[in-house]
Amino acid sequence: MLYMPNFNISKVDVKLLSIFSAVYEHNSISLAAERLNLSQPYVSHALERLRLAFNDPLFVRAGRSIAPTERAHFLAPEISTLVEKLIELSVPNHLEISEMNTCFSISANDFERQLIIPNLLKTLLRDAPKASLNLSNTKDQYVESLRQREYDLVITPLKPPSHLDIYSKALFTDQPRCLFDSSQISAEEVTENYINLDHAAVQFGSNKARIVDQILKLKGVSRNIKLVTPSFEALPSLIRDTRIIATVPSRLQDSLFTGFGSTAFPFDCPDMTFNMVWHKATHLSPTHQWLRSVIEELV
């Protein structure tokens, strides 16, 4: 509940509340202004009006940035929910899927693309022929890209951040599996001598925290990595006719690695969860709700 002593609701409108949310999410007046396509003086003036309405500084200087006050922390989730509800009231309920001409921008690396995009494209061509897809690789830090609407949706195994303006949902889980050229090496040898054999690894962007290596580090061992590639797609042709092992998500066995030998990862490993992540700007959009529901069904 947003009731406060001396609180004057007549001084606050939806635009002011949206500005509050943007400043809270970014801890920056300039970034909030940029995202909302407003001038910095306008945002600063809006904050002054909010401070008077709530009888609190709301944001104070913290070095080169700003930090929310205790009351701002209290207000933030309530204001975010209120703004979403008001936006929801203005969104039409009816969606004519066959007439949608939205270009959906999806960020996903090649494993997720291999798994999801072919059938998603077929669904679009059949049910929403005027819609289109724009695909890109996932950046290490994708939150700002979501906020700037570079992406509408991110599909990633990275843990979703805890921000009021970011939503996420677990799509599926997978386990790592060892794939190799069975004409060069046997499943038994891979299982018994995994650590001492040569390995290939995939590294996306500058993020060096590979999931398999994190698991092995906890067990006090490490792999002998002979090859690092920027995608899974490059691996099959590179490790064919070699004794190099690729430890990859198990579902790749039936797509990219068809015909390769396979055995279970020889260490206990928690399931890898792949998430669908989006920004509140598209949270209530009927077209984007439809897209997310289709992806869930396909997975």
pLDDT at 93: 59
How far is 98 from 92, CA to CA, in rounded Å?
Answer: 16
Looking at residues 141-149, what average pLDDT do you find?
Answer: 86
Q: Using pLDDT thresholds of 50, 70 and 90, give the confidence band for residue 4.
A: very low
Helix (H) or strand (E) holding 189: helix 187-192
Give the percent of the chain with pLDDT over 90.
51
How far is 19 from 36, CA to CA, in rounded Å?
Answer: 8
Tokens 């690396």 locate to 109
Count other C-beta atoms under 10 Å from residue 141's C-beta. 12
Tokens 């020889």 locate to 266
Q: What's the pLDDT tens digit per position in 120-130?
A: 999 999 999 99
What the chain holds in terms of domains, given with CATH numbers, is: 9-90 (1.10.10.10), 97-159+276-298 (3.40.190.10), 176-270 (3.40.190.10)
How far is 144 from 32, CA to CA, in rounded Å?
Answer: 11
Q: What's phi and psi for 82, nearest 5 deg?
A: -65, -45
Tokens 């929310």 locate to 68
Q: Are 98 and 128 in contact (CB under 8 A)?
A: yes
Q: Are 21 and 163 in contact (CB under 8 A)?
A: no
Looking at residues 25-43, what average pLDDT do you find?
Answer: 88
